[in-house]
């Protein structure tokens, strides 16, 4: 029993000595075995025993001087008082584990003790986590630091690492409610949570948020960090992402209390209202033509727009440079252009894609067609048979005239005229004794009611006159 007590006493002395050295750095040490229940009761019993035998142990250690009583009485390497005999192989390290302990060196001595920058304690390469002892004041809490204790001076409390987060010993910070996440948020808009009351801790605490959010304490905006007391009400305020369908999360931390709040923007409306570009007809051959500007609506920008098809189509936004694609916002106008076919009556088409909407623009070249006939020309002869003509042009439906051969070559028409005889009988010819008379090749009325008169006298031909 005495040996056991001495061992625990030396253990305590070592820890207390370490504590006195690093007290200013707020270093603490506990066993890594359990945090309550039977483990806690057992440690309490050890402390009671140590207290009971304090005076006896103090006297025994003083008797051994610097060598210390590490083995206990009756050990082959100890004298009658249980002190180290001869040269102490462990020196100041002591033999707290005893010979052949798995964490002792070849001489049964305590391994070298080092305090790392992050507050962890190592024993010649064996970490505090491996040896079961956790010390430190570092801010890192992860699986490698599980069980580490640290004293938070501003809050006058002790925290331990559970492998993920710092948990407060003797306090349980909590929020009266969770912050409801926001969905279908408008990009770039500012959103604010409802109030949550914080409690379950002592004194003042610092609460912080990440990702550009700010804290409101009792309705007053404070910034990304704030000092609060138990019973204060907090809210979070954050600007949603400027992008559609994007989540933005802020994490609020106060001691061991960690909670998150997420704002997710709505999906982008990529389906514009129906739009169309007016088709063109009767266009010139092998020519570059452009559409009128069209301003699509009913979508969320920015949105990609592109064009493809025949005649090397391109698009321009708000009168800018021409290209196969661009990005537009509501209110922007789009024009199209392409090169027409080199053949008549041929359509070139271009497909415009804007988000989930599209339109097909068609441009058709003109054709060659005959124009209207002109009036007849004057007869080439007044009697005895002449001719008269009329003409028409070969026209391009897109405008202008072209060579008649483009329409087939039939642009002139002719017919006969004034085919009657050119004879002029004498006035005394008996042939003209009736009611009709010929004068200068024409029939003139003399009276009577005959519809026809024949002339078979001195005229070389028979001539019929119609009233």
pLDDT digit string (tens) for 174-198?
Answer: 999 999 999 999 999 999 999 999 9
Query: Band of the pLDDT at 161, cuts 50, 70, 90?
Result: confident
Q: Count other C-beta atoms under 10 Å from residue 267's C-beta.
A: 10
Q: What is the pLDDT of residue 143?
A: 87
Q: What is the pLDDT of residue 20?
A: 33
On whether the CB atoms of residues 108 and 7 are closer than 8 A, the answer is: no
- pLDDT for 38: 47
Burial 417-430 (b: 16+ CB within 10 A, else e): bbebbeeebeeeee
- Report the pLDDT value the prediction gives residue 385, as an integer from 0 to 100: 85
Q: What is the CATH number of domain 174-265?
A: 2.60.40.10
Q: Which pairs count as long-range contacts for 105-113, CB under 8 Å and 24+ apart, including other chains? A: 110/14, 113/18
Instruction: Give CATH 2.60.40.10 domain extents, the chain.
Output: 174-265, 280-365
Q: What is the mean pLDDT of residues 388-398?
A: 94
The pLDDT, as a whole number, for residue 196 is 96
Q: What is the mean pLDDT of the chain?
A: 75
pLDDT at residue 110, rounded to an integer: 58
What pLDDT is recorded for position 166?
78
- Model confidence at 113, pLDDT cuts 50, 70, 90, reads low
Residues above pLDDT 70, as percent of the chain: 60
What's the fold here for domain 368-417?
TSP-1 type 1 repeat (2.20.100)
User: How much is the pLDDT for 9?
Assistant: 37
Q: Which residues contact 74 (CB under 8 A, 6 or more apart)?
A: 82
The predicted model scores a pTM of 0.50
Name the least confident of 10-14, 91-95, 305-309, 318-322. 10-14
Q: Are 226 and 275 in contact (CB under 8 A)?
A: no
Q: Which of 109-123, 149-163, 196-210, 305-319 has the lowest mean pLDDT?
A: 109-123
- CATH superfamily label, 280-365: Immunoglobulins (2.60.40.10)
Between 217 and 63, the higher pLDDT residue: 217
The average pLDDT across 359-364 equals 97
- Give the model's confidence band at 169: pLDDT under 50 very low, under 70 low, under 90 confident, else very high: confident
Find the mean pLDDT for residues 121-127.
Answer: 49
**Of the candidates 326, 322, 301, which has an alpha carbon nearest to the alpha carbon of residue 313?**
322
Which of 263-267, 325-329, 419-423, 434-438 is predicted least confidently? 434-438
Cis omega (within 30 of 0) on the bond before 55?
no
The CATH 2.20.100.10 domain(s) of the chain lie at 368-417
- At residue 397, φ and ψ (nearest 5 deg) are -65, -20
Mean pLDDT of 434-444: 45
**Cβ–Cβ < 8 Å for 341, 362:** no
- Tell me which range, 71-80, 310-319, 395-404, is most confidently predicted by mean pLDDT: 310-319
pLDDT in tens, 240-292: 999 999 999 999 998 778 999 999 999 999 999 999 999 999 999 999 999 99
| Residue 418 neighbours by CB under 8 Å, 6+ apart | 379, 381, 382, 383, 384, 385, 386
27-31, 67-71, 73-77, 215-219: least confidently modelled range: 27-31
**Per-residue pLDDT at 147 exceeds 60:** yes
């Amino acid at each position: 029993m005495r040996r056991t007590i001495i061992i625990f006493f030396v253990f305590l002395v070592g820890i207390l000595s370490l504590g006195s050295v690093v007290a200013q750095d707020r270093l603490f040490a506990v066993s890594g075995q359990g945090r309550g229940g039977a483990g806690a009761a057992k440690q309490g019993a050890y402390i009671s025993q140590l207290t009971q035998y304090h005076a006896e142990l103090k006297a025994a250690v003083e008797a051994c001087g610097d060598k210390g009583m590490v083995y206990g009485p009756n050990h082959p390497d100890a004298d009658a008082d249980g002190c180290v005999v001869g040269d102490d192989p462990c020196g100041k390290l002591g033999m707290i584990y005893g010979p052949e302990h798995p964490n002792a060196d070849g001489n049964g001595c305590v391994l070298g003790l080092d305090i790392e920058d992050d507050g962890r304690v190592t024993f010649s390469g064996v970490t505090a986590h491996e040896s079961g002892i956790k010390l430190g004041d570092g801010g890192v809490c992860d699986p490698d630091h599980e069980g580490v204790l640290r004293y938070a001076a501003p809050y006058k409390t002790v925290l331990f690492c559970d492998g993920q987060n710092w948990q407060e010993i003797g306090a349980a910070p909590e929020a009266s409610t969770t912050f409801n996440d926001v969905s279908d948020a408008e990009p770039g808009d500012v959103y604010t949570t409802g109030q949550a009351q914080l409690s379950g801790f002592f004194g003042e605490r610092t609460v912080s948020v990440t990702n550009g959010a700010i804290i409101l304490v009792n309705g007053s905006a404070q910034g990304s960090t704030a000092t609060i007391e138990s019973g204060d009400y907090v809210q979070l305020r954050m600007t949603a992402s400027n992008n559609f369908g994007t989540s933005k999360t802020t994490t609020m931390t106060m001691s061991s209390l960690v909670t998150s709040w997420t704002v997710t923007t709505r999906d982008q409306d990529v389906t514009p209202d129906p739009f169309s570009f007016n088709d063109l007809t009767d266009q010139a051959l092998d020519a570059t033509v452009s559409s009128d500007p069209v301003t699509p609506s009913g979508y969320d920008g920015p949105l990609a727009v592109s064009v493809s098809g025949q005649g090397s189509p391109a698009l321009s936004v708000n009168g800018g440079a021409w290209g196969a694609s661009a990005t537009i916002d509501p209110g922007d106008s789009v024009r199209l252009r392409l090169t027409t076919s080199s053949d008549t009556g041929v359509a070139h088409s271009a497909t415009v894609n804007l988000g989930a909407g599209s339109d097909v623009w068609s441009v058709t070249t003109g054709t060659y067609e005959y124009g209207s006939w002109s009036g007849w020309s004057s007869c080439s002869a007044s009697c005895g048979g002449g001719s008269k003509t009329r003409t028409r042009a070969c026209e391009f439906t897109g405008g202008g005239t072209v060579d008649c051969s483009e329409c087939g070559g039939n642009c002139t028409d002719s017919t006969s005229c004034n085919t009657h005889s050119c004879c002029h009988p004498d006035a005394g010819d008996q042939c003209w004794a009736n009611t009709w008379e010929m004068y200068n090749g024409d029939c003139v009325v003399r009276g009577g009611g005959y519809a026809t008169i024949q002339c078979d006298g001195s005229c070389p031909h028979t001539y019929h006159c119609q009233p």
